Chains A and B, each alone.
Chain A
Amino acid sequence: MKNRLKVLRAERDWTQAQLASALEVSRQTINAIEKGKFDPSLPLAFKAARLFNLTIEEIFQDQVETV
């Protein structure tokens, strides 16, 4: 799953630690999500969407492989 978390965070000039604090997760989790190594749960995705005032789809995109 791709996401725009890093871009959205950079636009607001937040550090990973600040975003982690706002989403009540560890900084390592934010780092893993930004790198696409960990997919957040639906509640965490909703929380991120509320924080950035966007829809989930505007932050997270499913990576559908086209043949």
Chain B
Amino acid sequence: MSKQKCENSSYQTKNKTNTVTLRNWTTAWLITMAIAAFAPKYIWEFNTALTITAVLINLAVGFKMLIVNRDYLRGLDEMQRTILLEAMALALGVGLVIGLSYELLEDIKLITYQPEMPHIVFLMVITYGLAVISGHRKYQ
């Protein structure tokens, strides 16, 4: 059989661009989050106008990051999208179930400290990461 040439596609290029864009917006969101969290105390001594501005910028960058993440997901191929959607569903489920139980622990006096939101976020990030790795192994 004679050799046929495959057409070149822009999939890899588009995927790479989307990944870089998502990384940049995630970094920007983390930076604006850090500014909103620490600058009022350490830089502008709780100036209300500056603090509100920092929070609004953080929210705006956060929403842009969500849109970029949606575009990133849409740019993936169907198998990769399936892996990520399954991982997100698991992370959300684990966050909801364990988060509510964790919150309950203080109410029913099983723990003495206030449950912290970052603990749940950390758990969801770990769950998501492990689910993505597991998904890739499943289809290897």
A 17-39 to B, binary, CB cutoff 8 A, 1 in contact else 0? 01111111110110111000110
B 33-50 to A, binary, CB cutoff 8 A, 1 in contact else 0? 000000000000000000
Tell me whether B79 is interfacial, beta carbon within 8 Å.
Answer: yes
Number of A-B contacts (CB under 8 A): 59
C-alpha gap A26/B24 in the complex (Å): 23
Q: Is the CB of A26 within 8 A of B140?
A: no
Q: Is the CB of B77 within 8 A of A24?
A: yes
Query: Which residue in chain B gives the minimum CB-CB distance to A14?
Result: B6
Main secondary structure on A side of the interface with B:
helix
Q: Is the CB of B11 within 8 A of A26?
A: yes
Cβ–Cβ < 8 Å partners of B8 in chain A:
21
- Tell me how far the C-beta of B76 lies from the nearest C-beta in chain A, rounded to whole angstroms: 8
Tell me whether B109 is interfacial, beta carbon within 8 Å.
Answer: no
Tell me whether A1 is interfacial, beta carbon within 8 Å.
Answer: no
Cβ–Cβ < 8 Å partners of A12 in chain B:
1, 3-4
Cβ–Cβ < 8 Å partners of A38 in chain B:
79, 82, 139
B69-106 contacts to A (CB < 8 Å): 77-80, 82
Cβ–Cβ < 8 Å partners of B78 in chain A:
25, 29, 40-41, 44
Q: Is the CB of A32 within 8 A of B11?
A: no
C-alpha gap A22/B85 in the complex (Å): 25
Tell me whether B112 is interfacial, beta carbon within 8 Å.
Answer: no
C-alpha gap A20/B78 in the complex (Å): 12
Q: List residues of A whose CB falls within 8 A of some B CB.
A: 11-14, 18-26, 28-29, 31-33, 37-38, 40-41, 44, 51
